[in-house]
A and B are shown apart, each in its own frame.
Chain A
Amino acid sequence: DAGVIQSPRHEVTEMGQEVTLRCKPISGHNSLFWYRQTMMRGLELLIYFNNNVPIDDSGMPEDRFSAKMPNASFSTLKIQPSEPRDSAVYFCASSLRPPGEQYFGPGTRLTVT
């Protein structure tokens, strides 16, 4: 299996632009998680889905952030408009069943200038 796939790996954008991060979970996994990692706040859970349904989005910072999971093999995290403080590494992870080992993707490093 290819593991969790994220794209792009790096994204540099200007403040105010829309950013879309993409994730393909491991086939057969029914839970998907979006995390943000910064030096200041460490690894934070933003939102997670179970069977494509958002279960807990209490970690989403504000309305500028939104996430979707239209099917079992694809999810997006969108930031609109982006701000410099959104600069971070964003990880997607999936797991077979809750609770259990989460398999992380390689991350997307986002820089907002």
Chain B
Amino acid sequence: GESVGLHLPTLSVQEGDNSIINCAYSNSASDYFIWYKQESGKGPQFIIDIRSNMDKRQGQRVTVLLNKTVKHLSLQIAATQPGDSAVYFCAENVYNFNKFYFGSGTKLNVKP
């Protein structure tokens, strides 16, 4: 039979605009989260992490927001560049367990 692939949400933005990528996590006990970036043909690469005792964490051009009430995580990328085009995954973890569960990912397309 015909195989059905994952529907990968796609976000298209203009170069220079800000991007917001969202992630809903499943386990209310999860208390550590990581955002990864995966470029075509490469392995996932760490972007930023956040623990559940924080609501917000900032890095270079990236900000992660955590809303534990609704189990939602977002990644904000400022002044998006063509090099930001990739698939972005959130990963959740329950502390003391060295096991992350990855979301299905969001594809970011940056238009020049």
Q: How far is the CA of A106 from the CA of B45 in the complex (A)?
A: 10
Q: How far is the CA of A56 from the CA of B102 in the complex (A)?
A: 16
Known contacts being A40-B6, A42-B104, is A104 close to B97, with CB within 8 Å?
no
B46/A103 in contact, CB under 8 A: yes
Known contacts being A41-B6, A42-B105, is A99 close to B98, with CB within 8 Å?
yes
The chain B residue with its CB closest to the CB of A39 is: B5
B97/A99 in contact, CB under 8 A: yes
Count residues on chain A whose CB falls below 8 Å from chain B CBs: 26
Whether a CB of chain A sits under 8 angstroms from the CB of B70 is no
Known contacts being A99-B32, A99-B97, is A42 close to B43, with CB within 8 Å?
no
Chain B contacts of A105 at CB under 8 A? 43
B102/A31 in contact, CB under 8 A: no
Q: How far is the CA of A58 from the CA of B102 in the complex (A)?
A: 16
Whether a CB of chain A sits under 8 angstroms from the CB of B99 is yes
Q: Which of B4, B45, B93, B101 contacts A104 (CB 8 A)?
A: B45
A-B contact sample (7 more), CB < 8 A, given A43-B89, A55-B98, A107-B42 = A40-B6, A42-B104, A98-B96, A99-B99, A102-B44, A104-B43, A104-B44
Some 29 contacts from A to B, beta carbons below 8 A apart, are A31-B98, A40-B4, A40-B6, A41-B6, A42-B6, A42-B102, A42-B103, A43-B89, A43-B102, A43-B105, A44-B102, A45-B99, A45-B100, A48-B99, A50-B98, A56-B99, A91-B43, A93-B43, A98-B96, A99-B93, A99-B98, A99-B100, A100-B49, A101-B34, A102-B46, A104-B45, A106-B41, A106-B42, A107-B43
Chain B positions near chain A (C-beta within 8 angstroms)? 3-6, 32, 34, 41-46, 49, 89, 93, 95-105
